[in-house]
Amino acid sequence: MRIVQISDTHLSPGKAHFAKNWPPLAAWVAAQNPDLVIHTGDVTVDGADAEEDLQHASELMQALGVRVLAVPGNHDVGDAGHPAQPVSDERLARWRAHFGPDRWIEDVEGFRLVGLDAMLLGSDDHEEAAQAAWLDVAMREARGRQIAWFLHRPLFLDSPDEGDTGYWSVKPGPRARLMDLVRRYSVSLVASGHLHKAHQMRRDGTRYLWAPASSFLVGSGIQPRMPGEKRLGAVLYELDGAVLEASIADVPGLSPYWIDDVIDEVYPRPSDSRPAPN
Ligand SMILES: [Fe+2]
Ligand SMILES: [Fe+2]
């Protein structure tokens, strides 16, 4: 079983700044001949407010001719506690209309793959509680399968015990609850996007993998120091029984755009708040 993970495509028909990176990515995906594609969010430039972005990106995914499972990013459905774009029932309904459920389970080989909506974490939205209850059942009923999680925002940057990293990782409260599940069920893999950096690390037997974006990189004026490598690409997984191999891959033909050069056009700053580039 071969799975390709792509992330942070940031697609939009109106803001086509990174559109030229889609054809090489689509060609690379086709060349891998995968059984499944998993997109870990920020599919769109601004699906949270622009439905045409969701429509456009969904059409591109369907044109891959491969089954795609996706989890939303902050630019697709908004974010917990965001002053201008909070995650909401309306935004989630739009996502689901174009991409299907924002949380899902897929049992393949000896694995249970679990897609999580990281944008609900810390929102106190009724959907956050519903997802937590659903996840408890999903874990309990994995019945001896290895478990791999896919979500947009990483659980942490350096350590599960670190404090609040703000925009960049899951808040300490919801993180602690998820880490409890990671440890209790010996989760094999936690794969994420959002940071536009590639990285792999192991903690207590769990592999944490940050998938690179295919759209753009983020300069040090916007993104603080953290682990990982500023490169574009995708991730290739081979699953065989209970064994999973993961490799971060270069994708030929991707142009290394920097968001710093176009942030005022792509993500114009509301008059009194910081931009949210990733
Ligand atoms: Fe993001
Ligand atoms: Fe992103």
Kind of pairing between the strands at 36-39 and 68-70:
parallel
Q: What's the 120 CA to ligand 1 centre distance in angstroms? A: 13
User: Counting ligands in written order, which one lies closest to the CA of residue 74?
Assistant: 1
Count Cα neighbours of 163 within 13 Å in the Cβ-side half-sphere. Answer: 0
Q: From the CA of 234, how far away is ligand 2's center (Å)?
A: 13
Ligand 2 geometric centre to CA of 145 (Å):
30
Ligand nearest to the CA of 73: 1
Say how far apart CA 54 and CA 11 lie, in whole Å. Answer: 8
Nearest ligand to the CA atom of 218:
2
**What is the per-residue pLDDT for 269?**
79
The bound ligand whose nearest atom lies closest to the alpha carbon of 75 is 1
Ligand closest in space to the Cα of 216: 2
**Assigned token pair, 30:** 């086709």
- Global pTM reads 0.97
Per the structure block, which two tokens stand in for 158? 């350096």
Would strands 199-203 and 189-192 be described as parallel, antiparallel, or unpaired? unpaired
User: How far apart (Å, rounded) are the C-alpha atoms in residues 256 and 151?
Assistant: 24
Give 109 Cα–ligand 1 centroid separation in angstroms: 30
Query: Which residues are found with C-beta within 5 Å of the ion, ligand 1?
Result: 42, 73-74, 194, 278
Pairwise CA distance, residues 202 & 136, whole Å: 23
The closest ligand to the CA of 197 turns out to be: 2
Tell me the ligand closest to 154's alpha carbon. 1
Q: How far is the CA of 170 from the centre of ligand 2 (A)?
A: 15
Q: What is the pLDDT of residue 110?
A: 97
Instruction: Decide the pairing of beta strands 234-240 and 2-6.
Output: antiparallel
pLDDT per residue, tens digit, the chain (278 aa), is 999 999 999 999 999 999 999 999 999 999 999 999 999 999 999 999 999 999 999 999 999 999 999 999 999 999 999 999 999 999 999 999 999 999 999 999 999 999 999 999 999 999 999 999 999 999 999 989 999 999 999 999 999 999 999 999 999 999 999 999 999 999 999 999 999 999 999 999 999 999 999 999 999 999 999 999 999 999 999 999 999 999 999 999 999 999 999 999 999 977 555 557 77
Distance 197 CA to ligand 1 centre (A): 11
Residue 106 CA, ligand 1 centroid: distance in Å: 23
Tell me, what's the pLDDT at 275? 56
How remote is the CA of residue 210 from the centroid of ligand 1, in Å? 12
Tell me, in angstroms, the distance from the centre of ligand 1 to residue 156's CA. Answer: 14
Please give the C-alpha separations between residue 261 and each of 44, 266, 267, 272, in angstroms, as whole numbers. 19, 10, 11, 20
State the distance from the centre of ligand 1 to the C-alpha of 240, rounded, in angstroms: 31
Q: How far is the CA of 10 from the centre of ligand 2 (A)?
A: 7
